[in-house]
Amino acid sequence: MAMTSQAPADKPLLAALRGEPQWPRPAWLMRQAGRYLPEYRQLRADKGGFLDLCDDPAAATEVTLQPIRRYGFDGSILFSDILTIPRALGQDLHFSAGEGPVLGRLPDQASMMDHLDGGEATARLAPAYDALGLIRAALPTQTTLIGFAGAPWTLATYMIEGGASKSYPQTKAMAYGAPEQFRALMAFLIRSVADHLIAQIAAGADAVMVFDSWAGSLDARAQVDWSAGPLAAVTARIRQVHPDVPVILFPRRAPHAAQALAGQHPLVTLQVDFADDLASAAALPFSAVQGNLDPGRLLAGRGEIQHATQAVLNAVPRTRSHVFNLGHGILKETDPDAVHAVLEIIRG
């Protein structure tokens, strides 16, 4: 059974995601829990590898809460990784120092279906649900808790390429050259992603976010077919179970996907990359927009940080619902005090 969320009026970020403009603008940052914080680096050194943190609900809870204690953000996002889904479906996964994620051979669909229908996938993803329950209990009542997952296209690139890629040759060869085979994989991933997000909502998430980080690698037609289409399908499956839970979609650097998604479902927020125009995005029929400060600006001096923050605030009128965020994840080289400079302008 899904947990009952706090009334939106008590949670400014949740209210904004539901299309109710807030002032000051509610704020949180992508990757706000992570390597730029000394307390995170210490915990990771004590715990071991990155996946060890994700698989330990108590450790994942501590990491998630660290930036809330330090900055008092309006939103808290679960500490996990998008690649927990491929691993739960039976694909080997490990993280190599300096190389990022490395995935084993793509399992056949029958094997992945066995993991999904047999309960192995749910058991492997259970630490995330356990962590959400712990986080929910520890968060301030006004803080919105956000769950997340990777989008089907982005997950497919990792699963087919076996890791990160600059040009996605094997994925595109399948998507463009064997579309029926690729469509079958995407249909399976749509179900897996939606099920994971539905379970996160049941565990305590107020809202969920879907990261299509590599949507911008697609041409205009494929952005609609392989980014927007699956994102809309995931949202539709969530709506069948949780019709009132906001969904944040991030088709990164994929304007054709964003246009195709506009107005399809209620209670959908568009996350805007820093390379895209926030004012133009705010004109699209989404419940809210989120973004889009370049995380590189946080590496500059205090004056430039605050000037850039004010420019983002000015891009969206107060009558439009806007959640302040970065246009991509915070960089590990960021001085933690730079975030205070951002928040001073937002809250001042």
> What is the tens place of the pLDDT at every residue in 285-325?
999 999 999 999 999 999 999 999 999 999 999 999 999 99
Query: CA-CA distance, 125 to 127, in Å (whole number)?
Result: 6
| Burial status of residue 266 (CB atoms within 10 A of its CB: 0-12, 13-18, 19 or more) | middle
CA–CA distances in Å: residue 145 to residues 72, 116, 209, 309? 13, 26, 11, 24
Give me the pLDDT at residue 96, please: 77
Please state the pTM of the whole predicted model.
0.96
Q: Evaluate whether residue 98 is within a structural domain.
A: no
Give me the pLDDT at residue 8, please: 54
Question: Is 124 a known active-site residue?
Answer: no
Question: Is 108 a known active-site residue?
Answer: no
Q: Evaluate whether residue 88 is within a structural domain.
A: no
The predicted model gives 319-335 an average pLDDT of: 98
> What is the tens place of the pLDDT at every residue in 182-226?
999 999 999 999 999 999 999 999 999 999 999 999 999 999 999
Query: CA-CA distance, 205 to 3, in Å (whole number)?
Result: 8
Q: Which domain holds residue 298?
A: 8-81+132-347
> What is the tens place of the pLDDT at every residue in 142-172?
999 999 999 999 999 999 999 999 999 999 9
Question: Is 158 a known active-site residue?
Answer: yes
Q: Evaluate whether residue 111 is within a structural domain.
A: no
Q: Evaluate whether residue 109 is within a structural domain.
A: no
Q: Total domain count for the chain?
A: 1
Q: Evaluate whether residue 93 is within a structural domain.
A: no
Residue 2 has pLDDT above 50, yes or no: no
230-260 CB burial, b ≥16 within 10 A, e <16:
bbbbbbebbbeebeebbbbbbbbbbbbbbeb
Tokens of 42: 């210490």
Which residue among the candidates 35, 70, 237, 239 is catalytic per the annotation?
Answer: 35
Q: Evaluate whether residue 302 is within a structural domain.
A: yes
Which residue among the candidates 44, 191, 237, 320 is catalytic per the annotation?
Answer: 44
Question: Is 337 a known active-site residue?
Answer: no
Which residue among the candidates 18, 25, 31, 136 is catalytic per the annotation?
Answer: 31
Question: Is 302 a known active-site residue?
Answer: no
Reduce the secondary structure of the chain to three states and give it as a string: CCCCCCCHHHCHHHHHHCCCCCCCCCECCCCCCCCCCHHHHHHHHHHCCHHHHHHCHHHHHHHHHHHHHHHCCCEEECCCCCCHHHHHCCCCEEEECCCEEEECCCCCHHHHHHHHHHCHHHHHHHHHHHHHHHHHHHCCCCCEEEEEEECHHHHHHHHHHCECCCCCHHHHHHHHHCHHHHHHHHHHHHHHHHHHHHHHHHHCCCEEEEEECCHHHCCHHHHHHHHHHHHHHHHHHHHHHCCCCCEEEEECCCHHHHHHHCCCCCCEEEECCCCCCHHHHHCCCCCEEEEEECHHHHHCCHHHHHHHHHHHHHHCCCCCCEEEEECCCCCCCCCHHHHHHHHHHHHC
Q: Evaluate whether residue 100 is within a structural domain.
A: no
Which residue among the candidates 81, 206, 212, 276 is catalytic per the annotation?
Answer: 81
Give me the pLDDT at residue 4, please: 39
Residue 168, domain CATH: 3.20.20.210
Residue 6 has pLDDT above 90, yes or no: no
Which residue among the candidates 40, 71, 129, 158 is catalytic per the annotation?
Answer: 158
Q: Evaluate whether residue 278 is within a structural domain.
A: yes
